[in-house]
Amino acid sequence: MALRAPLRCLRHTPYLARPLSTAGTSHTADLHAQAQARSTINDSEIAHFSRLSALWWDEQGEFQMLHRMNPVRMRFVREKLAEMALEDDGDADVTPADVLRGKDVLDVGCGGGLLSESLARMGANTLGIDASPSNVSIASLHASADPALAASTQGRRRGALAYQHTSVEDLLAARGPASFDAVCSMEVLEHVDNPRAFLDSCAQLVKPGGHLFLSTIARTPLAYLVTIAAAEHVLRRVSRGTHTYAKFVDPAELVDFFRAYRPHGRPWIASAGAPARTEAETRGMVYVPWDGEWVLAPRGAAWAEGCNYLFWVRRPRE
């Protein structure tokens, strides 16, 4: 089997490389102009995942690695929210086990609902959105098997769960900004068009003092070898064409984006050097094949951020 991937693709221009304006009003106008210029939805990506929608809840199938990754993603979300709650109020009675209870959380690009269901089971009032109607149908069907996840259920420890077929920019237009305590978008950024506008829409939906969680793939030779050469072509764990190397985003690009992102005058990341742990954090996720599990790398382990990683950033309080 020949794997034809020219080495020049490993030196592609960074996906978020175009300079940002640093002035509040011009920056916001620039981002909104981009968002209006074209949707963040890539039709071929949506068609690809729509064809696979029936496989979302097969734990040994196409999305096996995401099923195994989901506990690590949830651990990061819960621990970071609990850490920041205690940072805000040292006397707060909060733990990772209950920190999501009652929070309004958006899951952008929810797919079959793996993360959305987990969020709701931990008490978050969760809205999952996806640009693929078949993904939304599968997610809704699976959730319907558990009456405790129904959006109409009241007086429970679990949160409400609802799904909607829409894009993040259309949801922003319908609901308005500052609608959610936390916005999550896991394994989505590397599949969208116009990623800067996508990040802007996600960020606008976060309430002041709220949280944005992302997970994506770094643009490194290691990531190419693992996610495309090995996973798609050699091991065939995922379908060919699932990933596009040129659309991978390095952690430093996200930090730079939110360092310049100041729609309300204050940048989301104000530190000149490495972000303060109260502003933003990047954590690598490493797959351990002999255990068949993902592990969350320790804080500050840059060596682990060369492939799959999680990113958190907090919107400043106003």
Which fold, 27-314?
A: Rossmann fold (3.40.50)
Q: Is 285 annotated as a binding residue?
A: no
CB atoms within 10 A of CB 128: 29
Asked whether residue 122 is marked as a ligand-binding residue, the answer is no
Q: What pLDDT is recorded for position 185?
A: 98
Predicted confidence at residue 168, as pLDDT, reads 97
Supply the angle between the helices 195-204 and 251-260 in degrees, to the nearest 10: 60
Q: How many CB atoms lie within 10 A of CB 214?
A: 22
User: What is the per-residue pLDDT for 29?
Assistant: 46
Binding residue per annotation — 191?
yes
Q: What are the CB-based long-range contacts (under 8 Å, 24+) for 94-100? A: 97/122, 98/122, 98/123, 100/124, 100/159
Q: Quick one: pLDDT at residue 32?
A: 45
Q: Is residue 74 scored above 70 in pLDDT? A: yes
Mean confidence (pLDDT) of the chain? 87
Name the percent of the chain lying above pLDDT 70: 86
Torsion of CA 223, 293, 314, 262, to 10 degrees: 10
Please tell me whether 256 is known to bind a ligand: no
CA distances to 48, 208, 300 from 42, rounded to whole Å, are: 10, 30, 33
Detail the DSSP E strand segments found in the chain: 104-108, 125-130, 161-165, 180-186, 206-217, 280-288, 293-296, 308-314
Residue range 6-21: average pLDDT?
49
Question: Is there a binding annotation on residue 190?
Answer: yes
Using an 8 Å Cβ cutoff, are 285 and 72 in contact? yes
Say how far apart CA 146 and CA 188 lie, in whole Å: 26
Q: Which residues pair with 284 in a beta bridge?
A: 309
Confidence label for 287 from pLDDT (cuts 50, 70 and 90): very high
Binning pLDDT at 50, 70 and 90, where does residue 148 land? confident
Res 12: pLDDT: 52
Nearest-CA neighbor of 281 among 205, 230, 214, 232?
214
For the segment 58-66, the average pLDDT, to the nearest whole number, is: 92
pLDDT one-digit tens code per residue, 19-48: 333 334 344 444 444 444 447 888 877 777
Q: Measured in whole angstroms, how far is the alpha carbon of residue 24 from the centre of its chain?
A: 25
Least confident span in 33-42, 68-77, 139-148, 257-266: 33-42
E strands in 122-198: 125-130, 161-165, 180-186
- Report how far residue 282's alpha carbon sits from residue 153's, in angstroms, rounded to the nearest whole number: 36
Give tens-digit pLDDT for 192-251: 999 999 999 999 999 999 999 999 999 999 999 999 999 989 988 888 988 999 999 999
3-class SS of residue 53: helix
Identify the weakest region by mean pLDDT among 9-13, 40-44, 148-152, 271-275: 9-13
Mean pLDDT to the nearest integer, 90-99: 92
Instruction: Please name every residue paired with 272 in a beta bridge, in sequence order, or none if there are none.
Output: none
| One-letter identity of residue 172 | L
Give the total residue count for the chain.
318
The whole model's pTM is what?
A: 0.88
> What is the pLDDT averaged over residues 107-119?
97
CA–CA separation, 315 vs 183, rounded Å?
A: 11
| 278 pLDDT tier (thresholds 50, 70, 90) | very high
Least confident of 14-23, 141-150, 205-214, 247-256: 14-23
Kindly list the domain boundaries of the chain, sorted by start residue.
Answer: 27-314
Q: What is the pLDDT of residue 7?
A: 38
pLDDT the model gives residue 39 = 74
249 in the Ramachandran plot: left (φ > 0), alpha (ψ -120 to 50) or beta?
A: beta
